[in-house]
């Protein structure tokens, strides 16, 4: 597999894996807003859909159960369209939430669905705090004691409640860099991404002087960031990214060039976003209503909202076998990392198959509504496969760069060996003779010798004698080499 894996065009997918038409329409519109980011647009669709129907559906796995939330971690080259896509997603999400909140009678003073809109990642900002307030149950005529006059009240943090937690600058969350005032962030994220079918998702914190804080966060995450340093280490050591659907992409330079040319050509043009924003918000609202109607018809039995037809299990197992075969061909270092995502990948296949089914429901014949077919599994596996392969490709490329870097670092002794070996006049060696020696002794070609010279140049003094380049090991370096 190529380490520069590029996502397959959604419009060129084989008919057996073609996504629901609503998703294709959504994605094609998003591609006009944020060029060459079709795949993240697909993930955004299911992130929003999974959130708005979470109260009315459960995906059963025997003794365990999963909710419909689809958490996304999009890690991509800086200045490649992430924020633009997020802005459009925000507009659609807020309009969708307006429709649902109004329908439920939950208005601005007490909305049900909200957008996470905080950039402060301290405990108080995220999960809340406690403040002392006057006890309204006591009047002055009751002659309350000092302790009865005041009570402690929880002030809710930004994570409390339902809706979308959209992190446009996820690198500042505390997941990627250790910070004393963000040390609990990793735990908070791991907790609220647990299934909503048990209390394990509740974030609880016992204050040193005060009551226990309980943050009821049922949000879905759509988090974006540039590719940070030490990403592989964070993936391995922090369970947060392992619980998300992770998409990692280093955008090739030729695509960045095309993005910028598109930007230039768009100068002076104007396309209003209001019409597509309303269109997709109404679409999401209609799927919300359909799911609620189905829930009511089944008298609240969330586990029976969808039915899994014959062949679904075989289709998921087939994809798992493909995953195993794929992993057998990749380097062991990469396999150890991507294997951390295998279980969640299978769970996300099931979730996405259910969400594809719901997205198709308005256009299905009555007898096929709410049924998950093997076709829906193939749609889901296409989505998961693209993300999984992209992660593997990025890991392979990252490993290759790391190995090259290590290899380059080991060239320092070879340069020192060459300088010490060739003939010198008053400590000055002919650089060309050093190159010839390294080619013979260490199999380092001429181009590589001069290309990597910049990495050791600070260890040498240089001068020209006619056309001849001479180098001399600096005194402090010579002393170190003799230790």
In the predicted model, is pLDDT for residue 262 greater than 50? yes
Q: What is the CATH number of the domain that holds 465?
A: 1.10.10.10
What total number of domains does the chain contain? Answer: 2
Task: For residue 257, tell me if it sits in a domain.
Answer: yes
Give per-residue pLDDT as tens, 142-197.
Answer: 565 655 667 778 899 999 999 999 998 888 888 887 665 566 888 899 999 999 99
Task: For residue 135, tell me if it sits in a domain.
Answer: no
Given 404, 420, 453, which residue is the final one in a domain? 404
Please report the pLDDT score of residue 180 as a whole number.
55
Same-domain check for residues 432 and 391: no
Q: Which domain range does residue 389 map to? A: 10-113+165-202+221-404
Average pLDDT, the chain: 88
Give per-residue pLDDT as tens, 59-94.
Answer: 999 889 999 999 999 999 999 999 999 999 999 999
Task: For residue 4, tell me if it sits in a domain.
Answer: no
- 367-374's contacts with Cβ under 8 Å and 24+ in sequence apart are 370/294, 370/305, 370/306, 370/307, 371/306, 371/307, 371/309, 372/306, 372/307, 372/308, 372/309, 372/312, 373/309, 373/311, 373/312, 374/309, 374/311, 374/312, 374/314, 374/315
Task: For residue 343, tell me if it sits in a domain.
Answer: yes
Q: What is the CATH number of the domain that holds 345?
A: 3.40.50
Same-domain check for residues 245 and 279: yes
Same-domain check for residues 379 and 277: yes
Q: How far apart are CA 376 and CA 380, in angstroms?
A: 6
Given 404, 430, 461, which residue is the final one in a domain? 404
CB atoms within 10 A of CB 90: 17
Given 404, 437, 470, which residue is the final one in a domain? 404
C-alpha Rg value of the chain to the nearest Å? 29
Same-domain check for residues 83 and 176: yes
In the predicted model, is pLDDT for residue 29 greater than 50? yes
What's the pTM value of the predicted model, to 2 decimals? Answer: 0.81
In the predicted model, is pLDDT for residue 480 greater than 50? no
């Amino acid at each position: 597999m190529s380490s520069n894996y590029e996502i397959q065009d959604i419009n060129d997918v084989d008919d057996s894996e073609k996504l629901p038409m609503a998703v294709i329409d959504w994605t094609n519109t998003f591609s006009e807003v944020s060029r060459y980011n079709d795949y993240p647009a697909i993930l955004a669709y299911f992130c929003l859909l999974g959130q708005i129907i979470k109260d009315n559906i459960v995906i059963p796995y025997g003794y365990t159960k999963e909710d419909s939330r689809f958490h996304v971690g999009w890690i991509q080259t800086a200045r490649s369209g992430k924020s633009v896509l997020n802005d459009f997603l925000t507009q659609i999400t807020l309009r969708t939430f307006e429709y649902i909140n109004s329908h439920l009678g939950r208005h601005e003073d007490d909305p049900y669905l909200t957008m996470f809109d905080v950039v402060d990642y301290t405990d108080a900002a995220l999960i809340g705090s406690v403040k002392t307030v006057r006890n309204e149950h006591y009047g002055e005529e009751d002659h309350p004691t000092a302790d009865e006059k005041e009570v402690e009240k929880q002030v809710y943090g930004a994570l409390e409640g339902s809706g979308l937690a959209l992190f446009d600058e996820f690198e500042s969350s505390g997941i990627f860099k250790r910070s004393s005032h963000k040390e609990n962030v990793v735990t908070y994220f791991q907790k609220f991404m647990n299934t909503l079918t048990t209390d394990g998702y509740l974030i609880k914190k016992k204050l040193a002087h005060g009551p226990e804080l309980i943050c009821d966060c049922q949000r879905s995450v759509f988090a974006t960031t540039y590719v940070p340093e030490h990403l592989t280490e964070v993936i391995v050591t922090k369970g947060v990214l392992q619980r998300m659907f992770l998409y990692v992409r280093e955008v090739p330079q030729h695509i960045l060039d095309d993005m910028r040319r598109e930007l230039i050509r768009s100068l002076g043009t104007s396309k209003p976003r209001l019409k597509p924003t309303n269109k997709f918000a109404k679409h999401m609202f209609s799927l919300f209503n359909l799911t609620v109607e189905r829930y009511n018809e089944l008298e609240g039995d969330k586990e029976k909202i969808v039915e899994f037809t014959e062949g679904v299990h075989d289709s998921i197992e087939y994809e798992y076998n493909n995953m195993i075969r794929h992993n057998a061909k990749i380097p062991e270092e990469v396999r150890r990392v991507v294997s951390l995502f295998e279980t969640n990948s299978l769970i996300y296949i099931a979730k996405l198959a259910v969400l594809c089914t719901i997205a198709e429901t308005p256009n299905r014949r009555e007898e096929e509504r709410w049924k998950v077919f093997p076709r829906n599994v193939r749609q889901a596996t296409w989505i998961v496969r693209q993300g999984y392969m992209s992660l593997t490709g990025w890991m392979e490329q990252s490993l290759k760069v790391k190995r090259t870097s290590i290899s380059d670092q080991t060239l320092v002794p070879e340069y020192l060996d060459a300088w010490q070996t060739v003939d010198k006049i008053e400590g000055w060696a002919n650089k060309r003779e050093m190159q010839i020696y390294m080619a013979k002794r260490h199999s380092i070609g001429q181009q590589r010798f001069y290309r990597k010279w910049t990495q050791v140049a600070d260890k040498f003094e240089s001068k020209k004698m006619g056309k001849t380049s001479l180098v001399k090991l600096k005194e402090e370096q010579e002393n170190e080499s003799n230790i």
